[in-house]
Amino acid sequence: MADTNLTNIQTYRKKMHFNIGNAIFGIILIYLIVTIFTYLTSKHISVYEVREGSILRDTAYTGLIIRDETVVASEADGFINYFSPEGSKVGARTDVYTLSNQKLSFRETGSKEQEALSADEQAALLLKIQSFSENSDDAQFRDVYTLKDNINNVLESKSSQSRQAQLEEMLTQNQNNGVNVYKAASDGIVMYSLDGFETVKVSDVSENMLSKENYKIETMANNVSVKPGTPIYKLITSDTWTLVISLSEDAAKEMADMKRVKVKFSKDNQIERADLEIVHSRNSRLGLLTFHSSMIRYAKERYLDVELILKDESGLKIPKSSVINKKFYTVPKDYLTQNGNSREMGVLVDTGTDTAEFKKVDVYYWNQENDTVYLDPQVFEEGAALVRPESSETYSLRSTKELKGVYNINKGYAVFKQIEILCESDEYYIVKAGNNYSLTNYDHIALDGETVTENSVVF
């Protein structure tokens, strides 16, 4: 038999090699898929950046000015001319007016030197115009009239000075035949207009007087004939004055406990504080705003438009939607202790044995009045008790109180922060800054506090 050669062919499985690059890529891919899926299926949290701000709430009124005013009558007959500029302060020895047998002749125009404004007058006028130009607001058109009044006051003062100089010149040059000079009746601010309210007292004011509809004013003029007893000027004799306004029932209730209020004058945007008194009658409620300065600024006015600034607070401005109420255990502060190893702040929990268990806690608020701290109930088991450090005293966790606060999400997860509300508007709160347990400027918080829970991750 022929020999038969058999060949055995064996197949070997190819050895697999581990590829670290593929493994890393796979892990990253899985992470991205999970992250994207979580992001798409989770509820997104709108974020609000805390910034410093203020809330101003004011109410507009028109008020009637009541002052200490004395009407002075002419002592004789003749043609009257006034010495002192209107609105200037006069003393008992100040020359106020003259009476003459006939009209006096005044130069209509003088030399350029006499008519020109002084350097100080020009500078003051330019400063007013510059201020108006820099701060003008289309919504505050009354500012134009304020500027106009300021310019007119400067020009009228210059004209009055020229007239006074001519009167003095006539007297010193012996041209005073038939011209008699009269001094002020007393100290005060001299005004050359009368409106019939000079003798009205605060107690006499009724609501119908607060309307400007039928208001009339008589302005005194130079070189006109007067008789003995004719009212020729008035003196404002006190810096204290009262602005009377009409209040609605709701406004009167809101301001019932206020003793002082901040007032903004629409005429020149000045702000002053006034003593406030509310007087009730059968059919009306009058607010009496008493000032002890600035009288001369409004000496020419009988009615003033004002705004009462009832709220003007500055702090951190946050939306109302971000604020929630959360319950906390209230615990005496001396139950807090530090872990000897890590220096972490915490409390000792009673375990029913000789050894208490240290539990790390976060303090959400410290009430310094009763020296208690606020701790999160979720950290403790129900019915837990705490042990006072270096003592056998225990404290059962039962007492709870609510805190108003927001969820801070600076670190990517929600942390409750207590707030102290100073004032509010329809949509925002102004909260106090500087509290160690509260917010700071530029913090990020959840816009809707009800959509977040403590320690939840925020995307």
What single DSSP character describes residue 113?
A: H
Contacts by 343-350, CB closer than 8 A, 24 or more apart: 347/375, 347/386, 348/386, 348/387, 348/388, 348/389, 349/380, 349/384, 349/385, 349/386, 349/387, 350/384, 350/385, 350/386, 350/387, 350/394
**Ramachandran assignment for 343, one of left (phi > 0), alpha (psi -120 to 50 degrees), beta (any other):** left
Alpha carbon of residue 178 to chain centroid: 59
Rounded CA gap, 98 and 187, in Å?
18
Note the pLDDT of residue 111: 45
Rounded CA gap, 362 and 335, in Å?
13
Note the pLDDT of residue 238: 94
Tokens 């007297």 -> residue: 171
**Ramachandran assignment for 89, one of left (phi > 0), alpha (psi -120 to 50 degrees), beta (any other):** beta
User: What is the residue extent of each domain of the chain?
Assistant: 324-418
Note the pLDDT of residue 93: 86
CA distances from 421 to 52, 396, 443 (A): 14, 31, 17
Assign 408 to helix, strand or coil.
strand
Note the pLDDT of residue 113: 43
Handedness of CA 69, 73, 75, 81 (dihedral sign): positive
One-letter identity of residue 350: D
Assign 62 to helix, strand or coil.
strand
CA dihedral 403, 407, 410, 414 (to 10 degrees): 110
DSSP 276-302: EEEEE-SS-EEEEEEESS-GGGGTT-S
Rounded CA gap, 69 and 413, in Å?
68
At 262, list the tokens. 């901040």
pLDDT per residue rounded down to tens, the chain (459 residues): 455 555 566 655 655 666 777 788 888 989 888 878 776 766 677 899 999 998 877 789 999 999 999 999 999 999 998 888 888 899 988 889 989 888 887 766 544 444 565 666 566 667 666 655 655 555 455 556 555 655 655 555 555 666 677 776 666 665 556 788 899 989 999 999 999 999 999 999 999 999 988 899 999 988 899 999 999 999 999 999 999 999 999 999 989 999 999 999 988 889 999 999 999 877 889 999 999 998 999 999 999 999 999 887 889 999 999 999 999 999 999 999 988 777 789 999 998 888 888 999 999 999 988 999 999 999 999 889 999 998 888 999 999 999 999 999 998 889 999 999 998 888 999 999 877 889 999 999 999 999 888 888 876
Rounded CA gap, 42 and 64, in Å?
62
H or E stretch at 309: strand 303-319
pTM: 0.62
DSSP 124-162: HHHHHHHHHHHH--TT-THHHHHHHHHHHHHHHHHHHHH
